[in-house]
Structure 1
Amino acid sequence: MKRNMTSWLFLPLMLLSGYGLASTTQVEILSAVVKDAKIPDAQVTLQRNGESAVRAATNAQGQATLESAFPDTSDTLLIVKKSGFSNLVVKCPCNGMSYALSPVLTGLDSMRVVLTWGAQPDDLDSHIIYQGNHIYYEQKEGDNGNLDVDDTDSYGPETITLTARQQGQSYVYAIHDFTDRESPNSSRLSESQAKVFVYVGESLVRTYYVPQQKIGNLWTVFKITPSGDFVDINQIEGVNMESARIGSHLSPALADAWTTSHNAGWTQQDISVSRNLNLQGEAAYQRNDYDQAISLFTSAVNAWADNGKAYGNLGLVYQKAGRTAEALWANRKALALASGAGAPTVRAGANYNIGKIYETAGDFQQALTYNQAARQEKASTVYDNAIARVQARIH
């Protein structure tokens, strides 16, 4: 049965002193891993540059009401926090939407992908494929992977968790409009307000918004390469097939040759915004405000996913903040984006950083692999010493 949200979603406009015309924004906060579980006492914030933030807490039904003069547009951010869960940051429109909080992940190579959307279509399905595996609603379990939550009556969430990414394997994640599975010329997926949130460790590391004004019922969102790098695909196409065939349809994207962002649609404005956010993040880092720096660097890579400098900065600040899984992810992306005359130095440093993370975690074989890769990129006694140190722990 659909959740009855209409009784609390649409309230009249009102006037707030000092703000002028204002409206009520109401959201529902659920668990990303337990179907229909409400999250009480979550702190919900509406934020817009240059304005005072508006805050509320969710009630026992996971609902929060916020009154502000902020327009319900992409210039307004919704931020949700609760102890034990990753912070959620999302662009509006937000009114009438359901969002899901992800419990903190503990594995170095674990990952969670959460899908939410609006009232229509009723049923969007998450699919992830990797060697010998196709996880979706008819096949909820795979090697080190699970479909935790399947939703068929609007809003979501749909959640896939990978408890350990398989080394050397590619992954492709996509959204299928099951409701319109026989209508490849439908635009309802593009109009669905679908959002995909990717979590590593305790952090939301990437957010994807469904492309607008597109025709089709299959949205291929991203790929993870054998080295662990995220590659944006972000394409919508029309297909007419049953869900079981989606895996074979997506399988060409697993090819190792497809390792660069594919038609992601970045503009010069996106790149400029990303670079500016990166500069703001560097300033926050210099102030030792690591949480703000992480937020700004993350916004920078969401605006332009090929901003290698922002990924390098993320790797550094995540390590400073003690978030090793996130540092691992960011360093892998910095590796993939290294280019130009300084690329060997960047790759050597990133490999060494990854090796140090695995060494600290007690995975000395992986640490050795990355330290040797660092040494191949650049000669250094630091890398020689690291190789000798972890070899001694293996033998």
Structure 2
Amino acid sequence: MIPYGHQNINQDDIDSVVNVLRSDYLTQGPQVPLFERNIASLTNAKFAVASSSASAMLHVACLALGVTKGDRVWTSPITFVASANCALHCGAQIDFVDIDFNTANMCPKALASKLKIAKENGTLPKVIIPVHMAGHSCDMETIAVLAKKYGVKIIEDAAHGIGGQYKENKIGSCRYSDITIFSFHPVKIITSAEGGVATTNDVELANKMGLFRSHGITKDTELLSRPNEGDWYYEQQLLGLNYRMTDLHASLGNSQLNRINEFIESRHKLVRRYQSLLANSDIRIVTPLSNSISSYHLLIVQLPNKLHRKLVFNHMREMGICVHVHYFPVHLQPYYQELGFKKGDFPQAEAYYQSCLTLPLFPDLTSEELAFICDTLKELIK
């Protein structure tokens, strides 16, 4: 079976984890701060805070921005459920902004219209969470202008986006946002097995996120209310959680970062091959904005409307090609329908879902496998 995504682990990665296993610290040691510094350096952000997962970090980011009961948070309906769940975990109300069908990202025009109506109704969100679908950046400058106009904070959900770029800025630089979140799940660009990182340029937000991810506890003498109590002393200053990343995970992440440019270059090469082989078909590849450089976490295509996607999906799987679908619209999930969302609420997202298909894309995908995938799909189209 050809998977839709797969980690690439070499001997350096293995050695880095083994070295931690043989060290004095399996957690709360030097590897996590090193990983944070490395991510901050990669993205040109001032601060980075690591945690156990991107889902955990989305929750922490909302907490740091003060999201609470009575607040509203908006995100895209085409995303993994964590992008929306994080608001509910804070007691806030969640809503969605429809996508641009061509990019699968939050539509700036739909956002502008929804914000205008919300302003008139006194229902503006506290935070919006645009999602960089497949690693393709949203139109962040336009979104940031709208957010500033209406006094809304921005969390970029860049779970797919490490190593990507928007205009002249690395995704994660927070040039157009308050916080950016990355994921390091095994199918992502680089992996720490499980893990997430938030970047920000705001020292207060960085400190809050650091507290929230570790029980709300600090030993930093500059932050203590009783700095002379003793070296054993720590303070709980917030009601936090245990979302810490271990040194084992961070060491793998640090090793993988050494090859991030290689991984992204490989993905771009494979995408160009896909584009060439599918060029004369009715299959449309979802591509990034012209002013951005995608990390290409996913290769998503739109099938011709006449095709029954389920039949294509099942046949590709029968042929040993592990295609996937990203994503079933969040607002149509049973839990969210119980909150009042219904079919027809976000028509562009629903139309996109009906014909989208994710094809395998990962650095170890061979030219022969890629050709087989394209030939099989094109034959089905016929």
Q: Common fold, TM-score beyond 0.5?
A: no
TM-score by length of 2: 0.27
Structure with the greater relative contact order (CA < 8 A, sep ≥ 6): 1 or 2?
2
**TM-score, normalised on structure 1?**
0.27
Higher strand proportion (structure 1 or 2): 1
